[in-house]
Amino acid sequence: MERWNGKVAVVTGASAGIGAAIARNLVKQGMIVAGFARRVEKIKEIADCLKDFSDKLHAVECDVTKEESITVAFAWVKDNLGPISVLVNSAGITKESSLIDGTLEDWRSVFDVNVLGLCLCTREAVRMMRETAVEDAIVIHVNSLVAERVPFVPGFSVYPASKRAITGLAMTLRHELAGTHIRVTNISPGLVATEFMASYSVFSPEAMAAMPVLNPDDVAAAAIYVLSNPPHVLIQDVVLRPLGESW
């Protein structure tokens, strides 16, 4: 990880859960991190808890459903922190709904964040990586095990489809970046104990306590593993699940 010391990473969805854990761990590895989120006060709280590393985590307000918000955020990073070497697309939402009785508004909101927001952030990051001719860069998509197999979870609706889309987008991006020094990795965890999953009624605190789960730092460790490999090694996919998970 020494070669990443002082390099700039952007982490979306950095205010909570997996995104917060990845931002926190990258800072501890010596990276300068721009944490994108709407709830910037949450990122500032994380920075305050980092003590000796607090000046390396920067809270940047960004709504990934709005193109202008994304372009402004990336421009701030370029002007204030320098060129980006790492992008972690961790922003994601879900809406408890159904394909039979759900609403277009709910379905669209999931795809706006999980798919289109990811595309916009990736576009801006890759443009900057190419314009600044970074010699070693990585784009990491925080995906999900449900992109490959969908368990029966009442209310999942379009969420698994949004994650399957990310798998296809990563493959396409690798083709478009052929011949460059930019690598693309999917990290697909199983069930992770976050407020994200707690939004489903089936994943009540009592139910979660009885299930095998990962914690956000487990996923952050996977991101560190991806970054720790030499530039000529592409880790295409990382799949991790809690021991005993039946999905």
Listed by start position, the domains of the chain span 2-240
- What CA–CA distances, in Å, run from 29 to 4, 70, 169, 188? 8, 26, 28, 22
Which one of 159, 196, 200, 203 is the catalytic residue?
159
Burial-class residue 170 by CB neighbours within 10 Å (0-12, 13-18, 19+): buried
pLDDT tens by residue, the chain, 247 residues: 889 999 999 999 999 999 999 999 999 999 999 999 999 999 999 999 988 888 999 999 999 999 999 999 999 999 999 999 999 999 999 988 899 999 999 999 999 999 999 999 999 999 999 999 888 999 999 999 999 988 888 888 999 999 999 999 999 999 999 999 999 999 999 999 887 666 666 666 776 677 888 999 999 999 999 999 999 999 999 999 999 887 6
Domain 2-240 architecture: 3-Layer(aba) Sandwich (3.40)
What's this model's pTM, rounded to 2 decimal places?
0.94
Choose among 59, 60, 36: nearest CA to 47.
Answer: 59
Query: Is 159 assigned a catalytic role?
Result: yes
